[in-house]
Amino acid sequence: MKVWRWLVLAVLIVGAGLLWFLFKPVTGPERDLTLVGDAERGTYLLRLGGCISCHTDLDNEGPVLAGGPGLTTPFGTFVPPNITSHPDAGTGGWTLAEFSQAMSEGKGPGATEHFYPAFPYDNYTLMSDQEIADLYAGLMATEPVAEPAAPHDVSFPFNQRLLMLAWKNLFFVPQRYEPDPERSDLWNRGRYLATGPGHCTACHTPRNMFGARDDSRHLEGAQSGTPAGRVPAIDPESLVAEGYDRAWLIDVLKGGVNPAFDFPGRSMGEVISEGTSHWTDEDLEAIAAYLLDED
């Protein structure tokens, strides 16, 4: 009898500990919310972050940032919402603190609104406080669109947002970019772009069965399971084997052909047309240097 009682108690304690571990709040380093954002820099960051390519229905010439086409994943279809400055249909009513929390901790203004990682906040969390303020100013300067985006099409249990809190506790660490002091500023800028705002890792790094990035296989590509399905490896060895050098990488990201004299297609076509082709030459140089692991 006694043994059973102890056993039940042990199970209860372990269970409670597990629940606490999975559903405790996920918070990161505090951001400076007194910084004043610059809408012009913010507009550039909308390109750097690829926000436009996901949050705009490009195929149907939808209004900019008013909601993207659904992203089909093994867990359901996620529709990037309207993030124009409209106060009801978009995010125009959000404070900088609420916006910052979404970008840095994957949390919405509601108490239980935890975002799905189809929104790559696990990349954007690396962005600097000034960039978050700039991005906010950039979004507030967008044309408001009164039409809300369609809801997600995700079935039980994945439609339970509280589950995303458990996901975050298991796989997500809110943090800022830490430069590697051994490497050049150029390389560090490139790594920041690839892992932070440019979120190249969101597609080019494989994911585990829970849809979390497997950073031990950084940029190694995957046959399936990423937001873009099958994606090629873009680690230095693979790029060199494909015939890329720094100039060629810059050219392809500007909209040119690859070493096989073909244009990159599928979602990479949109990453290029709506994102990287608008990047400054300095940022393209940096990402090309980083991808080839050159200083």
Residues engaged in binding ligand HEC (CB under 6 A): 49-51, 54-55, 71, 78, 80-81, 83, 91, 99, 102, 108, 115-116, 118-120, 124, 135, 194, 198-200, 202-204, 227-228, 231-232, 234, 242, 252, 258, 264-268, 271, 276, 287
Contact 243, 204 (CB under 8 A): no
Give least dist CB 118 to ligand HEC, A: 4
What is the closest distance, in whole angstroms, from the C-beta atom of residue 6 to ligand HEC in the complex? 42
- Spatial separation of the C-alpha atoms in residues 23 and 16, rounded to whole Å: 10
Smallest distance, ligand HEC to C-beta of residue 185, A: 19
Q: How far are the Cα atoms of 200, 230, 270 from residue 264, in angstroms, in the given order?
A: 14, 13, 9
Closer residue to ligand HEC (CB): 14 or 275:
275
Q: How far is CA 241 from CA 238, 245, 262, 290, 291, in A?
A: 5, 10, 16, 16, 13
Please report how close the Cβ of residue 116 comes to ligand HEC at its closest, in angstroms. Answer: 4
- Provide, rounded to whole angstroms, the least separation between the CB of residue 135 and ligand HEC: 5
The residue nearest ligand HEC at its CB is: 49
Give the up-direction half-sphere exposure of residue 37: CA atoms within 13 A in the CB hemisphere: 27
Residue 210 CB, nearest approach to ligand HEC (Å): 15
Cβ distance to ligand HEC smaller for residue 37 or 50: 50
Cβ distance to ligand HEC smaller for residue 78 or 192: 78
Query: Please, which residue, 204 or 213, has the CB nearer to ligand HEC?
Result: 204
**Cβ neighbours for 87, distance < 8 A, ≥ 6 positions apart:** 93, 144
Q: Which long-range contacts (CB under 8 A, 24 or more apart) does 27-31 make?
A: 27/105, 27/174, 28/104, 28/105, 28/125, 28/173, 28/174, 28/175, 29/174, 29/175, 29/176, 31/100, 31/104, 31/129, 31/132
Characterise 293 by phi-psi region: left (phi > 0), alpha (psi -120 to 50), beta (else): left
User: Amino acid identity of 6?
Assistant: W
Q: Which is nearer to ligand HEC, 16 or 240 (CB)?
A: 240
Q: How far apart are CB 94 and ligand HEC at their closest, in Å? A: 7
Between 140 and 268, CB nearer to ligand HEC: 268
Least distance between ligand HEC and beta carbon 243 (Å): 9
Q: How far apart are CA 55 and CA 58, in angstroms?
A: 9
Distance, in Å, from the CA atom of 80 to the CA atom of 151, rounded to the nearest integer, reads 9
- 205 within 8 A of 215, measured Cβ to Cβ: yes
Q: How far is CA 237 from CA 68, 213, 234, 245, in A?
A: 34, 20, 8, 11
